[in-house]
Amino acid sequence: MLQEATSEVTQVATTLRQAAAQLRSEEFSALVIDQALLEAEPAESDLVLQHIGTATPVYVNFAINGIQRVTRELRAALLRRKKEVLVARQAAEEALRNELKGTVTALLLSCEMVLAAPGLPSTVEVKMRAIHELAREVRTRIGISA
């Protein structure tokens, strides 16, 4: 039912050891864990949590929660994970952009200074213009304004 409700490929582990083995061999978006099982087997629970990777844990009590509630919790967790991944990606892109700004600017200025030098051999000028154009292209691609 969870697979139908979320359109995510779903695997079932009947024991925590089996869950840990699956987590070691594959990557998952979320991990739905029965709270009662966690409390009953703390050592195996720790093993599972050590191998959770990037999966979002969703703790539910199957004894008191129906499948509709579990599905809502899982959908909410998957949505949170999707938003977190998007925010992380945007932050990484911004950090890279900020890191490259100074380098690209320095490269452009260096090229312009060399191109402005008197008596520059034509072969060097052609190569410097190509480098300058590549640096301008990088600047455009990473979204640095002129």
Give which of 42, 117, 22 is closest to 32, Cα–Cα. Answer: 22
pTM (2 d.p.)? 0.67
- pLDDT for res 1: 84
Return d(Cα 31, Cα 92) in angstroms, integer. Answer: 26
Phi, psi of 24 (to 5 degrees): -70, -30
Q: In this prediction, what percent of the chain has a pLDDT beyond 70?
A: 99
Residue 81 near residue 56, CB atoms below 8 Å: yes
pLDDT per residue as tens digits for the range 8-39: 889 999 888 899 999 999 999 999 999 988 88
pLDDT per residue as tens digits for the range 104-139: 999 999 999 999 999 999 999 999 999 999 999 999
Return d(Cα 57, Cα 16) in angstroms, integer. Answer: 14
